[in-house]
Copies of this chain bind each other. A is one copy, B any other.
Amino acid sequence: MIPIAICSLDSGNTGLSPIPHDLKGYGADQAAPENSGAEVLTNRRNALSNNSSLADVLNEDVMPEPPRPNIIIILADNMGYMDPGCYGGGAVLGAPTPRMDQMAAEGLKLTSFYSETQCTPTRAAIMTGRLPIRTGMSLASAAGSLAGMSPQETTLAEVLSDAGYRTAMFGKWHLGDVEESMPQNMGFDQWFGILYHLNTYSLKDRIGYDPKWAEGLNENYGLVQAKKGEGLEMVMPLNTSSLGIVDEQCMDRAIAYIQDQANSTEPFFIYLPLARTHFPSVPNDKFAGKSSRGPYGDGVMETDYHVGMVLDALRDIGKDNNTIVVFTSDNGPTLDQWPDAGYSPFRGGIGTVYEGGVRVPCIFRWPGEIEPGRVSNEIMSTLDLFNTFAVLGGGEIPSDRPIDGIDQSDFLLGYNDSSNREWVVWYTGTDSSPTTLPAAMRWHQFKVVRKGYDSFQGPESDYSQIPAVYNIEMDPGEEHNIAGEHDFAVEAFQKVYRGLVASMKEYPNTPSRAYPIVGGAE
């Protein structure tokens, strides 16, 4: 067996090195890992290889070819696993979410869906299907950092655009603010929204802040828009008091865009990474006080309303049945910001590898194709959105680089009760050496944690001597470290690690591009 990460790779290819550096130190000319004798654990594969479209390989006698769907990704920001009603929250937490609940009733609710630990890494994972350590997008990027995702990456927008999709984005990018890394240069025909996390725009209102401290730093952008290949256009600057309208502005344009597709024969891909429910939750006038949970809950209800706007618009243009919509969150709740924070029944939140940080709500809806009311605890990752949507859209997945996502289309469509994934690993921090140790791994019902935080603001719990092991079915709160008698989980972690090291030695990682002060941006 060879690790999935290097399956179907042409051995003559080199890795991606968007910021020039010498590949040879741990490059492709080293011994191929499959010759090292190391036993490696693979994530399961299905009949669809990374390079095939669903239509190519479906056995038409058994699996009817589904239509090539319109694709909409709605990504909430820092929403907790338990915030939506269908995940135990909603009215229980003072903020009902009838439209998310409707999505779950009409589609597939996943209860072991995993994001990365932070905004930027999750967004990079969705766009590329690659572990953030490979793309250098392992930390939330700061305004004016003069860095961003490498143009050598191939984004989902590019894959679908090449396959004939119209592509548009409305919302928060957070994959860099240099020109080459902006959405209009990353495969989107058009986009409208913001480049950073919301709190970037409230900086000047912090208690004790002196505006002169901003001198010499790059000014951030407000609400902006651009068309493919064109320059960025400022629509309006943003400050704390105007943050309440960001999603409303994005949704107005998103719904108009959907309406414009009514008579189109080309499929469309819409990426809707909403600004809610990231702190600071500055209420929108239309939602202020709607919940009994305060501004955060008002934001949950606004988000739910926006989910409903998408569903209603699809119905109105008659494209309900040929559109797949996914709703998820980029990471867990911002516990350090309580009460401006979501909730999870698990340990930890954003920035941590504990379940609270990475286990997020995820609902897929595709009437007629995905069974209504289905619930699954199978493991899936945000990385998989890249492969799955590329395959469903008939796009071509790059074959010249390791892709960590897995096509889950047969699982989503019900041809398979099991997902094609047995483990997820998380890397945190800015190390990009191929021997960097992952911070944690979910493997079957176990969690192996080498480096954890109980909140984003730490402190770090280091388990470098013996990784902690939790049985997250028996101990979903990750309170009881059972490494002593569960060393087999540590062995599994080591096997996965060996496969990843080999892959990263052959295809070097891009040094961190989020914070140039830490990584290798020159």
Contacts and interface: CB of A to CB of B under 8 A. Distances in A.
Interface of A: 82, 85, 87-88, 91-95, 111-112, 292-294, 296-297, 338-339, 343-345, 375, 377, 445, 471, 473-477, 479-480
Contacts of A475: 338-339
A176 to B, nearest CB: 34
A407 B112 CA distance: 40
Given A94-B474, A339-B480, 19 more contacts: A82-B345, A85-B375, A87-B88, A88-B88, A88-B111, A88-B345, A91-B111, A91-B375, A91-B377, A92-B111, A92-B112, A93-B476, A95-B473, A293-B474, A297-B473, A339-B474, A343-B345, A343-B476, A345-B345
12 contacts: A82-B345, A87-B88, A91-B111, A91-B377, A92-B476, A93-B473, A94-B473, A94-B474, A292-B445, A297-B473, A343-B345, A344-B345
Contact of A92 (B293, B338, B473, B480): B473
A88 B361 CA distance: 12
A488 to B, nearest CB: 15
A445 B92 contact: no
Contacts of A87: 88
Contacts of A94: 445, 473-474
A445 B291 CA distance: 12
A294 B92 contact: no
Nearest to A95: B473
User: Which 3 pairs of residues, A with B, have the shortest CB-CB distance?
Assistant: A345-B345, A94-B473, A88-B88
Nearest to A91: B377
Contacts of A294: 474
Nearest to A96: B377
Contacts of A339: 471, 474-475, 480
A373 to B, nearest CB: 9
Contacts of A293: 473-474
A132 B297 CA distance: 36
A88 B82 contact: yes
A88 B87 CA distance: 6
A89 to B, nearest CB: 8
